[in-house]
Amino acid sequence: MEKLVITVATTGAVTSRKEHPEIPLHPGEIAESVYEAYRAGAAVAHIHVRDDAGDPSMSLDKFRETVELVREKCDIILNLTTSGGRGLPLTDEDRFAHLALKPEMCSMDCGTMNFGERIFSNSPQFLRKLGKAALAAGVKPEIEVFDTAFITNALRLAQEGCLAEPLHFQFVLGVRGGMDATPENLLFLLRQVPAGSTWSVIGIGKGHLPLSAMALHMGGHVRVGMEDNVLYRRRTPVKNNAQFVERIVRLAEEFERPVATVAEARKILGLA
């Protein structure tokens, strides 16, 4: 079984300081939180940025500042979001302009869905543009899967030459509007993934630990962080992002599944 790749998602576009007063929102805070998670065992950092008021942003300047600060601290694999934030007036190109910063990975949400109370739009035209831009920049997309059609869409993009195989899938289960965070749903999705692919799982809310344990046992990988959860356990807020990583490292030790270093994660994920 491959070593375990742990991704930390420190910030996201949704979680606010009303939900958790310590969530990192500004470049220096995000970089410090990434570094703490890296020291705890994370090999990949999934990065969102916020504006000065703490609202979702796709500002190239904010991404540049955050990326530079993280790179000063450690060599963790950077995975930059292309989600676009909540209803921001963006062109397709605005959503992936930061690929010029040469992250090793970027997120790619392969479908449109209801996301809570909003529509999360990812048109086929946008996905083709993003796939081709990532290929040109040498960036590996992480296919984020909220529902079964997202896998079908990704496979079609690969057939069209917009994605290079083997693919890496990130199953995001438990978002309101997507598939529930249940073991049955994860197994159903895994049956549709091509042989040779790598995969990871996110369980939003109470689905976090059961799905993480499944990934540990089945050879998948795990994402944790305050983008996805702010409670460490019921009624107990997490202290910081590193605390989530530390728990997965302890569980991995119990499962006798070694945790991948950054260098080992690069090989597992097929990064240059």
CATH code matching the domain that covers 6-269, chosen among 3.30.450.40, 3.40.50.300, 3.30.200.20, 3.20.20.70: 3.20.20.70
The model's pTM: 0.97
- Give pLDDT tens digits for 116-144: 999 999 999 999 999 999 999 999 999 99
- Give pLDDT tens digits for 160-184: 999 999 999 999 999 999 999 999 9
Q: Specify the length of the chain in residues.
A: 272
Where along the chain do its domains lie?
6-269
Residue entry with tokens 């984020």: 144
Task: For strands 113-115 and 236-237, give the pairing.
Answer: unpaired
Inter-residue contact 259 to 6 (CB < 8 Å): yes
Task: For strands 105-109 and 140-145, give the pairing.
Answer: parallel
C-alpha dist (Å) from residue 229 to 62, 65, 118, 186, 224: 23, 25, 19, 18, 8
Question: What does the DSSP assignment read for 180-193?
Answer: -S-HHHHHHHHTTS
CA dist 140 and 209 (Å) reads 27
